Structure 1
Amino acid sequence: MRPTSPAGPGFGRPDVLEGPGGPGGPTGPGRRAAKGGKGDPAAIKRAKRRKRINWIVAGFAVVVMMAGAGVVGLTWFYDDVPTYNTEELQATTIVYEDGKTQLAKLGEVNRTLVPHDKISEVVKHAVVAAEDKNFQNHEGIDLKGIARAAWNNFTGGDTQGASTITQQYARHAADLSGINYNRKIREAVLARKLEQDYDKDQILGFYLNAIYFGRGAYGIEAAAQSYFGKSVLVQPGQKNALTKEEAAVLAAVIKQPEPDKVTGHKGYDPQTNPEAAKDRWGYTLNNMVEKNWMTAEERAKAAYPEKTLKEYNPKLCNIGCGADKPTGNVINYVRDELEAMGIPAADWKKGGYRITTTINQKAQKAAEDAARNASKVSPMNKLPKHYRAALVAVDPTNGRVLAYYGGENGTGYDYAGLNEGGKSGGHAPGSTFKIYTLAAALRAEIPMDSRWDATKDDDNGRKISNAGREANQISCGKNCTLEQSTISSFNVPFYWIADSIGPHKVVEAARDAGIRTMFDTSKGQPHDLTSADPKELAPTHFDNEVAFGQYPITVLDHANGVATLANRGVYNKAHFIVSVEKRGANGQFVKVAGKGEKLAPEPRFVANQIDDINAVLQKIPGNINNKLDDGRPATGKTGTWELNQERSDNGDAWMVGATPQVAAAVWVGTEGQRRAIKEANGRSNMTGSGTPAAIWELFMDRFHKDLGLEVKRFEERKNTGDPDSPYPNGVAPPPPPPTPGNNNCGLLPDILCPDRDRDRDRDRDNNGNGNQQPNPGGPTSGPPLQGGLPGGGGGGDD
């Protein structure tokens, strides 16, 4: 069996095997004379020389074996040279959750295969001069290096030794690692086999298409483009052909393209180590002169090609890695999770991994269609170009991120997550954050039918915005239930909830649901909720306004929080990787032990309390005309945050919600500096119930339909909480008007109408909107709050 060579013209085994004297025939270049035939005397002489060299190699192998190196010398008896597949090597593939459909590649090989006989001779000469100036004259091995390896084995000295180009390629082909005598012997044996099977130009072509040149460039063509923006296929004398000086730069890099953390050497890329790069460049040119590939006069005039050398930005994506797509942000999360698993970039860039993500291809398509400006079916398509939307969907049952849209690519700003290493990102969630205030309230045994004063919009002189509604515009006035306040999105009751139980309790509930990072509005600093004590964060950084969403959070975290509530209070950390596999010696992928998804569901809330919240939130989508198809039950909450203190414009608008199968969070705003957001008519201020709700509904309907999901329902409401809770500050509603024909209660209602209160209590249990006796005097207010509301007051109309 012969080795499979890289695909492409000029790289396969020679075709011309018919003629006895042709290039691939029995007496052609690289072939021995036919056994028993006279053949070409020169060929017979070469064959005898090769046979002698083979015995020398075998002798060294025996020496090494006798020294205890194992059976490496037996490599000679193997039938073939290991395949070197340049299409697959150095690629780490990212696939969708189906385990096979490619989403992108990490560290994908930036390689363009080029025919060996089409590569510029100038480039070939430079590489041979730099790496193996006697390449054309030897039989594929460095006998001195082999001897040194064997001798050092006896003496315990340095095991390194120089390698020929053929040996270097053999090392790549066999995927050998570690510099030791075992490798040196096996490398030499495989090199001899290569020299017997292929001619010199073919071997050089294999080598030039295989090796790494730094800057993410594998192979000579990618290197020429990366360093000079030129092609090796352009022949000398033609326009844009590589010069000898430029070719020498590429050749000089091969020895060590990038810094070595172990030795401390900075490598030979002129951008990172210009002095060493120029020294190596000069060495290469001198060898070119020695081999008559450059004249002494040309050498004297040669100048380092600094003007044509391209600057390299290591942060930019290499060709075809997938970062230039909307799923590019998924790649960034996959990288981070691999790092957390103990698989650093230096490892996966070597390739051979297959990462199965949580992203569902149909869900991702639905998210992009719903939220992209360029999508003709998206509500964003009718808005100005500087408007941006973000959408994240999470499976409540396991925390898998099913769809993620944070922008058009993975190299720009991620509107759904953190940026600049976590220093920026997030958007004020407005009233959508009230779902966590509800969770904190239910934890404190505050029932959903508790009564609150929605007109108490002043806290010791500090005005509390009530979502754009004045006190006289609130029909329930001083006796609004917590349920009514949620559906109508009144801010004032939520403010007083935070004031009563403490804003740190709201922060704590948000953290437990899945909010990991929140930004203060005084300095715009991020705070990690998972590592800090909520009492240290609130009210120092997050005051009572946290209850109705003043402080920015990410879309990803919000989707995770909604998923926790949809899962009846059981938290699953949002994540992007399901499994990590690596290609084994047999070419098959096997799971990497200890890596991949580690599910750890954690109950963080009382399920019955969360059932009460979900029961109320299910009323909101229908209330804003965003019911899902097929009568599918879904929770929902809208939110808006103002652009400025005057509150005449909005800057952020949200819609979040879930079914038992998926939780989705949608944000709409603008790129760059926050600007006013309007609906498509250009006049109406955008609110959460507008474009964000339309995007959310479009995605949710598509998601369930495309995945063929059955209709599932949430648990029934449990009516938890303490009816005598001390926190509510509302008053009892006025008594209902007398029922016609029953006006005989008179002055003795308790005696003449004894069942009246019991009936009223029964009504309260049935509809969740019954009476709650007020707490006389209401809660005791804390110290006066200083100043106005940073960044925009108190939340806009939802």
Structure 2
Amino acid sequence: MNPYGEPQSSRARARVPGSAGSTPDDDQPRSYSASARPSGSARPAPDAYRRGAGGRASVGNNTSGRASVGSASVGSASVGSASVGSARVGGSARVGAAAAPPPGRAAVARAAVRPGTGFGPPNAPDDEGSFGGERPGRGGKDKSKAAKRRRRTNILTAAAAVVVIMLGAGVVGGTYFFDDVDLPPPVSEDQSNVILDAKGTTLAKLGDQNRTVVPEARINKVVEHAVAAAEDKNFYKHHGIDMKGIVRAAWNNFTGGATQGASTITQQYARHAAELKDISINRKLREAVIARKLESKYDKDQIMGMYLNYIYLGQGRYGIEAAAQGYFGKSVTTPAGQKNAITPYEAAVLAGIIKQPEPSASHDGYDPTVNPTAAKERWEYTMANMYEMGWISKDVYDKRKYPTNLKVVKASSVKSTDNKPVGMIMRHVKAELADMGISAEEFKKGGLTVTTTIDPDVQKAAEEAGSRKSESSPMNDKPATYQAAVIGIDPKTGRVLGYYGGDDANGLDYGGYMSPDGTEIVGGQSPGSTFKIYTLAAALKEDISFKTTWDGTKLRPNGTKISNAGADPGTVCKGKIKYCDLETATIKSYNFPFYWIADGIGRDKVIAAARDAGVGHMFTDSGKLVDLNKTDKSTWEKTGYFDNEVAFGQYRVVPLEHAEGVATIVGNGVHHDAHFVKSVTRVDPETGKKSIVGSEKIEGNEVFKADQMSNLQSVMKEIVEVDDRDLRGGQEGIAKSGTWEFKEGSGDTWFVGGMPQLAATVWVGGAKNKVELKESNGRDMFGAGTPSKIWKKFLDAVIKAKDLKNEDFPDRVETGNPDSPFANGQEPPPPVQNNDGDNNNGGDCVLGFIGPDCNQNNNGGNGNNNGGNNNGDGNGNGNDDGNGNGGDDGGGNGNTPETQPTFEQPTVDPTFEPEN
């Protein structure tokens, strides 16, 4: 058996070279004619070393097909007269008739012939791959360096074979190894996935390995040469096998010495591709066979490309591109000579790391940011080899200067979103990629570039408005047990432009309650009165006008009262509780009209309106998560699911989905799926071409009529005005506040709405577990309090950062039937009759000015009944019941806004806590 696993008889084979003009096997394999093979020879064995095309002797008239070698004479012919070495390339080494050995006689070894004139000058040194010991045209032992190398190689090859046989490694013949060892396919290296914001700035790199695969054809050659100089300077000359390494490994294993490497680049990649991790002679031999097969199938550039994309270079960086980006902030694909291209000096630094990228017990490695002294020594070694091999000029070598632009970055920094609010977005990115058909396995494999919808200006505004860590946030002075979520969506496309769901990227997602792996929803919050926007959308669809009136004294079918935000029944709706109009009830956030709307048109239509707007999930009181897109009325109206209280926000929803619904209202009734991903591309590692594997869908679907939405928007606009939440520069805004109780106070508080350019949803509640929310002054928190301040700060910051021009909502179109059969308001009493225009309340007064009771009961001139616009006190400054101008719960700008707890009070006290 020869060293490479080819079968071989004990008699050497004589091989016939090609013509004088044939190409050296550095460029292409040799070809042999069938007639040129000696008898009994099945096929030529592969060479371990490159040699000229005419490097072996052919046998002339020797009919037995055997060539004699060495100094022994045969017959009457002396060795000198049958000189093998004088054969020309393409010719035959003539052996005289007397020199031919008699049939049946075994001649040992091979007849070697140095290349003739077809390859260079006549006196050129012997090719390193040639075997034999004679110089051409003269007798005696060849004492040249090339000849010594050949003899040494022969000895090492024989020694390796002897060692293998002595160790009993189970290798019977070359056929066993060469045929039994399969060539593994090229490894598809795991890469990182690059996540970009809408402007192309990297938000994060996700994946098991920080690697970017680049096509070999695009890699700067100076990088490839530097790596070869550091790891295997003869890479472009050999056939992939380091015979010395094989023998050394065998000998050390046999003697119990330390394991040593010195593998070629091809062998290193073979070990990786075949996952040969055990340390044994068997592994080393298999590694060699695979290396030979790799060299047979792939050219040197292809092998170098696979190697450069696989190697580890420290600091959590896999592949040459990640290393170049990490250590120098450059790409290896930038052509030489262009700005920011890798220099030979920088390339040598990177190449030097490969030998040992991480510290060990015995050596600190060659990472220049960890062990600069050893790294520089390795750099000098690499630079010297680059010069020796002709890969850099003398001038470049003489002017060498160790790079000083290294980046000292800790390995943990590859997880760039840890402990950053933006990290929460990655969960939603993964979920959307799965929806696009990109499996978890594909994502793990990496190589994706994901461009998100996140606008850096909007994202910054969301974080600064909602995070307790932000000194300018209304949350800054709140306890650590308080938490906010801020979500900004483009109502024209559904793109999530800003998303704050918490400061801990690995913690609970308070915006979307998405699990860390992006596979499921794990919680939600009660939206309170903010859910009324869907009840109103359903009512408008059923032709109910804002002018319809409703009876606030009517009891539920079970005989219980409907809470009206804790207000005194005598002051509700300016004393018109039995015939309160829907518009006033919306601004003041009374509950009773909404309960009766759900009862009249069917609560399923309220739920359907929420679903159509974008609310995809809702929780029952028992905590069961219901997918609204996969269920319908038959499920929603079952016992234990949803009652009429759904109309004013009893049941928990996901804030992100609620934000999507809010964006539909802001967007004039056109629904767009809220999404975080704009596009996904993948780069072909062979060609470098990008292909789109996923993209956003921004087509809208009109779910509510535009004129009905203009009607609703106009009412919501009044809420912004009375809550004194006018936006920067006079920008129009619409809003709705909401609060849901917990114990004796508030547990969830909301402020939702937006401007034509951006829909904004804000939630404030407990962190992990529900708490009773208080303002800094100790009073109960309501939606019109801290949440509305966060909402305004967020939108004002976006207007400033984006320099947005004012946009108005459409003009109001009043829709619906004021006499809708669903309305249940009582007939109002007839208006008070006045005498001659005076406000005479009766008594003894003739003609309005004669008598004792004249001019005694004029209560301020224009007072209305029951404490109306001026509260009947003659001051003209009263508002409703003294609890504010139109928040959901008395959080407006009226007198003593927090003196009464005015949160909605459901029939069931929901105290569900978000799942941890």
Pick the TM interval, shorter chain. Answer: 0.5 to 0.7
Amino acid aligned to 1:337: E
Q: 1:552-701 residue pairs with structure 2 within 5 A?
A: 552-585=652-685, 590-593=690-693, 595-644=694-743, 648-681=744-777, 683-701=778-796
Judging changes above 3 Å, is the alpha-carbon distance between structure 1 residues 137 and 656 closer, same or farther for their aligned structure 2 residues? closer
Q: 1:738-757 residue pairs with structure 2 within 5 A?
A: 738=833, 741=836
Structure 1 CA distance, aligned partners of 2:151 and 2:834?
119
Judging changes above 3 Å, is the alpha-carbon distance between structure 1 residues 724 and 101 closer, same or farther for their aligned structure 2 residues? same
Q: 1:241-640 residue pairs with structure 2 within 5 A?
A: 319-420=414-515, 421-422=519-520, 424-456=522-554, 458-474=556-572, 475=574, 476-521=576-621, 523-538=622-637, 540=639, 541-585=641-685, 590-593=690-693, 595-640=694-739
Match of 1:91 among 192, 195, 199: 192
CA deviation vs aligned residue, 1:674-703 (integer Å, no higher than 9, x gap): 11010112x110000000000000001111
Question: 5+ residue gaps in structure 2?
Answer: 1-119, 129-143, 155-182, 213-226, 232-247, 275-283, 327-355, 366-411, 839-904, 912-916
**What's the CA shift for 1:730?**
0.9
Judging changes above 3 Å, is the alpha-carbon distance between structure 1 residues 606 and 143 closer, same or farther for their aligned structure 2 residues? closer
Q: Counterpart of 1:655 in 2: which secondary structure?
A: strand
Q: Counterpart of 2:606 in 1: which secondary structure?
A: helix
Structure 2 CA distance, aligned partners of 1:125 and 1:410?
48
Match of 1:730 among 805, 820, 825: 825
Tell which structure's C-alpha radius of gyration is larger. Answer: 2
**What's the CA shift for 1:390?**
0.4
Please tell me whether the aligned partners of residues 270 and 287 of structure 2 are also in contact (alpha carbons under 8 angstroms). no
Q: 1:134-153 residue pairs with structure 2 within 5 A?
A: 136=262, 140=266
Judging changes above 3 Å, is the alpha-carbon distance between structure 1 residues 36 and 587 closer, same or farther for their aligned structure 2 residues? same
Structure 1 CA distance, aligned partners of 2:697 and 2:469?
37
**What's the CA shift for 1:526?**
0.8
1:791 match? 909
Q: Counterpart of 1:633 in 2: which secondary structure?
A: coil
Judging changes above 3 Å, is the alpha-carbon distance between structure 1 residues 164 and 458 closer, same or farther for their aligned structure 2 residues? same
Please tell me whether the aligned partners of residues 507 and 538 of structure 1 are also in contact (alpha carbons under 8 angstroms). no
Structure 2 CA distance, aligned partners of 1:628 and 1:465?
32
Structure 2 CA distance, aligned partners of 1:207 and 1:621?
59
Amino acid aligned to 1:389: A
CA RMSD of aligned residues (A): 4.6
Please tell me whether the aligned partners of residues 312 and 357 of structure 2 are also in contact (alpha carbons under 8 angstroms). no
Amino acid aligned to 2:490: D
Judging changes above 3 Å, is the alpha-carbon distance between structure 1 residues 378 and 42 closer, same or farther for their aligned structure 2 residues? farther
Higher relative contact order (CA 8 A, sep 6+): 1
Structure 2 CA distance, aligned partners of 1:134 and 1:353?
38
Structure 1 CA distance, aligned partners of 2:269 and 2:423?
49
CA deviation vs aligned residue, 1:367-412 (integer Å, no higher than 9, x gap): 0000001000000001011110001111111111111111113321
CA deviation vs aligned residue, 1:426-465 (integer Å, no higher than 9, x gap): 1001000000000111111110111111233554322322
Judging changes above 3 Å, is the alpha-carbon distance between structure 1 residues 483 and 472 closer, same or farther for their aligned structure 2 residues? same
Judging changes above 3 Å, is the alpha-carbon distance between structure 1 residues 48 and 728 closer, same or farther for their aligned structure 2 residues? farther
Structure 2 CA distance, aligned partners of 1:478 and 1:396?
38
Structure 2 CA distance, aligned partners of 1:463 and 1:477?
13
CA deviation vs aligned residue, 1:281-319 (integer Å, no higher than 9, x gap): xxxxxxxxxxxxxxxxxxxxxxxxxxxxxxxxxxxx994
Structure 2 CA distance, aligned partners of 1:358 and 1:205?
30
**What's the CA shift for 1:742?**
6.6
Structure 2 CA distance, aligned partners of 1:433 and 1:135?
69
**What's the CA shift for 1:611?**
1.2
CA deviation vs aligned residue, 1:258-300 (integer Å, no higher than 9, x gap): xxxxxxxxxxxxxxxxxxxxxxxxxxxxxxxxxxxxxxxxxxx
Amino acid aligned to 1:440: A
Q: Counterpart of 2:729 in 1: which secondary structure?
A: helix
Amino acid aligned to 1:452: W
Please tell me whether the aligned partners of residues 210 and 316 of structure 2 are also in contact (alpha carbons under 8 angstroms). no
**What's the CA shift for 1:38?**
9.6
Identical residues among aligned pairs (%):
37
Q: Is 1:185 paired with 2:300?
A: no
Question: 5+ residue gaps in structure 1?
Answer: 1-32, 52-71, 73-81, 119-123, 149-160, 171-180, 196-202, 223-230, 241-316, 744-786, 794-798
Q: Which moved more, 1:328-337 or 1:36-45?
A: 36-45
Task: Give the count of matched residue pairs.
Answer: 548
Judging changes above 3 Å, is the alpha-carbon distance between structure 1 residues 528 and 38 closer, same or farther for their aligned structure 2 residues? same
Amino acid aligned to 1:490: Y
Please tell me whether the aligned partners of residues 653 and 668 of structure 1 are also in contact (alpha carbons under 8 angstroms). yes
Please tell me whether the aligned partners of residues 681 and 690 of structure 2 are also in contact (alpha carbons under 8 angstroms). yes
**What's the CA shift for 1:354?**
0.9
Please tell me whether the aligned partners of residues 165 and 207 of structure 1 are also in contact (alpha carbons under 8 angstroms). no
CA deviation vs aligned residue, 1:191-244 (integer Å, no higher than 9, x gap): 88799xxxxxxx899845499999xxx99xx9xxxxxxxx9744435899xxxx
**What's the CA shift for 1:470?**
3.4
Judging changes above 3 Å, is the alpha-carbon distance between structure 1 residues 204 and 342 closer, same or farther for their aligned structure 2 residues? closer
2:222 match? none
1:236 match? 361
Give the TM-score, by structure 1 length. Answer: 0.61
**What's the CA shift for 1:560?**
0.5
Give the TM-score, by structure 2 length. Answer: 0.54
Please tell me whether the aligned partners of residues 662 and 759 of structure 2 are also in contact (alpha carbons under 8 angstroms). yes
Amino acid aligned to 1:656: V
2:886 match? none
